[in-house]
Amino acid sequence: MVKLSRAPAGPTTNADHNRLAPIQIYYSCPIQSQVFLHLLSSPSKHIRMTRVFLGSLGDEVEEETLRSYCSGWGELYSCTLMLEPGTSNSRGFAFLTFKSRSSASSFLSSQPHFIGDRKLIVKPLEMTSGTATV
């Protein structure tokens, strides 16, 4: 069981922090709970530091090729090559989520990146109010 505190609704003062209402969360899978607790501690910071946008991909690039290339900087949580609806043609961009901030940081700092003869556009993906911005 994990005990968390829920902030009161509306504007708060320093005195309000002494009256936080405890809530209880039950979980059964220890591995998932560790991930949950890590993301709960700073969800936007974690996502911001591990998500990467890749642009200027060629039509011939496949998700497995992309995953193979990018995993050289660290383990990937996900690699999503965006495809045209109803076809298997690449839209020319992808999103990566690294499992660690250091892997994402290493990938971002080791630019330029090339797949084939194309120089990739590589940017950190920022999460703001539930939407992603490059």
Number of domains in the chain: 2
List the beta bridge partners of residue 93: 55
Longest dimension (CA), the chain: 60
* 116 and 65 fall within a common domain: yes
Residue 125: which of 102, 96, 101, 83 has the closest Cα?
96
Both 62 and 11 in one domain: the answer is no
- Tens-binned pLDDT, residue by residue, of the chain (134 aa): 444 445 555 555 555 545 555 544 444 434 444 444 444 444 444 455 689 999 999 988 999 999 999 999 999 999 999 999 988 889 999 999 999 999 999 999 999 999 989 999 999 987 655 555 56
Domain check: are 84 and 37 in the same one?
A: no
Give the model's pLDDT for residue 125. Answer: 86
Same domain, 17 and 74: no
Task: Show the domain range for 92.
Answer: 45-133
pLDDT for 87 equals 85
59 with 91, same domain? yes
Shared-domain flag, residues 34 and 54: no
3-state secondary structure (DSSP) of residue 45: helix
**pLDDT value, residue 11:** 57
- Does 62 share its domain with 19? no
* pLDDT for position 126: 75
| Separation between Cα atoms, residue 69 and residue 80, nearest integer Å | 13
CATH of residue 104's domain is: 3.30.70.330
Let me know whether 33 and 86 are in one domain: no
pLDDT in the model for residue 41 = 45
State pTM to two decimals. 0.61
From the list 47, 107, 101, 120, the residue with the least C-alpha distance to 71 is: 107
Instruction: Return d(Cα 107, Cα 70) in angstroms, integer.
Output: 8
